[in-house]
Structure 1
């Protein structure tokens, strides 16, 4: 299929996990793809895997000035954009009393402030029609212990999908959100846990999922393709929960 044929697309955090798989799916659907990443090694590896036609841009998702630089690069290379998947994020899980201001600010900068200002800077580039998809999380809804700051940042994104929809629909820009449940990505390996702790955590999480497994990145990526394509042209300000039923119990 070529549901995204010739569409100019951006995927932030496109070097691993959901972002990388979404880039693969976008390419398979005929899109022109730009990805961002903070780690230059992983960015180069992702570009090598995806192919030389993919535009790989170094960008700090939590730096407001970097969002303008990203927009300038995309204007120069693509001229405009038809679809954006704002996926870059950080997951910092710890008890309330273990948070300090710096850790709180880092999560909010990457997961909420950066995405807001990226949308702002991309507005002159977004076509009519176009689509923005925000990657949120079911943690915003389920009250998981040790996720207070992460969940708050993702709840802000869900709210932003609704409010920006009302504000931007007159420009032909649709904004929607995907809310994944537990997905097999490198995110869990970045939590600083020992192997045994990670195994215990995985078993506990799996026990909470009615489908009794983690999701695969491709299952999230396919939802993003749907939102980016014309198939979702009458869907605005919606949240698609992709969690194996976790938030329903």
Structure 2
């Protein structure tokens, strides 16, 4: 039996990258995982890979409250409450100060901050006592990368959410923590920088981690599984860096 046998989990942005790896790992630990994201074909492929007995896809955009309502209606219909929320879905926009548009701001903060907020808030009535909420922050929140000011600020907000929500929900024995991935090799890099630049960008990112390489989504998923399980029962309001030493050494 896995550490999450009989548990119910939600993973946002669960069709690719870190979200997909986390959904696979949580299911392997015994949880039934509800995955959501904007790309239905990727969600269907994820369910096929995990197995329909262990995963349910609910397509949607976390920036749309109605889509979140549909997600949690599906969880509610299963009748077992909710034990794990991995608020993973996020987006990024490359724009330095002086070039940021209102559309850039609305996109990044609409998904990363507003979407994360309502992903968790709308889950509250379903969360079982002792549940674990995990927020996906980023090492970018600690750095001053020129074109990433919106993304970095949004992830700093996510880190702050973990602290305040941990304090808010502690009386229900609900633990809230954050993870901060560093340079992880995901399809999002190609989507952000373009196919023609992805190889060079990944080569550069590999040099930023002290360990000397990019991380794998499965390595982040292992940290998510730890925070989701009873093994992290005394971890509250923390920010677990999964960054190959990037921001540590």
User: Deviations for 1:35-90, whole angstroms, at most 9, x for unmatched residues?
Assistant: 11111111111112111121100111111232223222211124410111111111
- Paired with 1:25 and 1:238, the residues of 2 have a C-alpha distance of 21
Aligned partner of 1:67 in structure 2 is: 68
Please give the residue correspondences for 1:200-239 in structure 2 after superposition, counting only pairs within 5 Å.
200-239=200-239
Aligned partner of 2:162 in structure 1 is: 161
- Paired with 1:194 and 1:186, the residues of 2 have a C-alpha distance of 10
Q: How many aligned positions are there?
A: 248
- Paired with 2:173 and 2:248, the residues of 1 have a C-alpha distance of 33
Q: Contact between 1:34 and 1:55, CA under 8 Å: does it hold in 2?
A: yes
CA shift, 1:132, in A, is 0.2
Q: Contact between 1:21 and 1:221, CA under 8 Å: does it hold in 2?
A: yes
Aligned partner of 1:82 in structure 2 is: 83
Aligned partner of 2:105 in structure 1 is: 104
Aligned partner of 1:123 in structure 2 is: 124
- Paired with 1:29 and 1:79, the residues of 2 have a C-alpha distance of 17
TM-score by structure 2 length? 0.96
Which one is further off, 177-186 or 30-39? 30-39
- Provide the alpha-carbon RMSD of the alignment: 1.3
Where do 5+ consecutive residues of structure 2 fail to align?
Answer: none
CA shift, 1:212, in A, is 1.1
Aligned partner of 1:23 in structure 2 is: 23
